[in-house]
Amino acid sequence: MKLSELRIGDLTAKIPIIQGGMGVGVSLSNLSSAVANEGGIGIISGVQIGFREHDFSINPIEANLRALGSEIRKAREKSKGIIGMNLMAAMNNYELYVKEAVKEKIDLIISGAGLPITLPKLVKDSNTKIAPIVSSAKAARIIINSWLKQDRLPDAVVVEGPLAGGHLGFKSEELLENTCKTLKQLTIEVKELIKTYEEKYNVKIPIISGGGIRTKTDMEEIINAGADGVQLASVFVPTIECDAHENFKLAYINATHEDVFIIKSPVGMPARAIRTNFLSNALENGCEPIKKCYGCMPKCEADKIPYCISVGLINSVQGKDGLIFSGANLESINKMTTVKEVISSFID
């Protein structure tokens, strides 16, 4: 199959691959710039991005805003390619982080984990492209119709299937009973919906599909189903360029099928994670009382959740025992590699 360029508005990626945003701190300037340099679109995760800042524990918002700008600028120094940012719609101070990314002239903002209804007004009068993450045609319709009321259509739509990592847009029962629609089915349904908007408004809205894509054959199947590009995330973790600690990467390499399972995240959504001592202890016994809240999510009841999601994710990315999100089917991810080698396996 001959792969076409991926065009999102006036942005053109030589290869139709977007690197999925992975937080906390897994995909920052190093990984995103490496993917952009290979002709794809690199994505920085904005979730608790300031965790390495000296004042993060006392001023998390200021630390995050400072680090957000810094990571974008560092990515720009390392690459002339397309750099985007993933920002969770459900997190606290979402609007502040979006505005800061726009101020730094980020090329693209991808937003999921909730409905990013306010995103169009936050990027108004900028060149920043916007794309919602959806897991159904119904969700896509709701978001697009709400954006139309703000005189904006999405520049692209990211479809995430049930095999994706981190927080998922499906019910826990569907995931556990394996009754979710496949990524291919979801791609076809969203494609049919998007066609109606493309015809009505005479525009092109590319679809990027992701979740469990591990091989060139997987990618070709999804593109044949109607996707204009694919989103890859887990395959980029065990690369030299990934921003996470080596122990984090080894967790992916060593994980078996039984180690990857569905949990209920403290934010109230189902999520896919790798079994760790931290996670097993938290789910079975509950962790120690949460002493410090970093204000990452609204309405967090620290006395009722088994662990702090920020602490779990920050610990793991620094190489300690913590919370590690991942996609499904990690069996084929079994060695340390490079971004160039990963992309070559999909396009050569």
Q: At 128, which CATH number?
A: 3.20.20.70
The verdict on 209 and 273 lying in the same domain is no
Work out how many domains the chain is built from and give that number.
2
pLDDT of residue 92: 85
Q: Specify the 3-state DSSP secondary structure of 266.
A: coil
Q: Specify the 3-state DSSP secondary structure of 232.
A: strand
Residue 1 maps to a domain = no
Q: Specify the 3-state DSSP secondary structure of 76.
A: helix
Question: Cβ(38)–Cβ(340) under 8 Å?
Answer: yes
Residue 286 maps to a domain = yes
Average pLDDT over residues 297-322: 81
pTM comes to 0.93
The verdict on 114 and 257 lying in the same domain is no
How would DSSP label each residue in 103-150? HTT-SEEEE-SS--TTHHHHSTTS--EEEEEESSHHHHHHHHHHHHTT
d(CA 92, CA 309): 14
The verdict on 171 and 272 lying in the same domain is no
Under the banding of pLDDT at 50, 70 and 90, the label for residue 287 is: low
Which residues are registered as beta bridge partners of 260?
Answer: 274
Residue 225 maps to a domain = yes
d(CA 49, CA 26): 10
- Which DSSP letter does residue 285 get? T
d(CA 8, CA 130): 9
The verdict on 44 and 161 lying in the same domain is yes
Please measure the distance between the N-terminal and C-terminal CA atoms of the chain and give it in whole angstroms. Answer: 10
| Amino acid letter for position 257 | H
Read off φ and ψ for residue 322, nearest 5 degrees: -165, -155
- Which DSSP letter does residue 151 get? T
Under the banding of pLDDT at 50, 70 and 90, the label for residue 294 is: low
The verdict on 129 and 194 lying in the same domain is yes
**For the segment 72-103, what is each residue's pLDDT rounded down to a tens digit?**
999 999 999 999 999 988 888 999 999 999 99
**For the segment 32-55, what is each residue's pLDDT rounded down to a tens digit?**
999 999 999 999 999 999 999 999
Domain membership of residue 53 as a residue range: 6-244+334-347
**Tokens, residue 18:** 């977007």
Question: Cβ(41)–Cβ(32) under 8 Å?
Answer: no
**For the segment 184-212, what is each residue's pLDDT rounded down to a tens digit?**
999 999 999 999 999 999 999 999 999 99
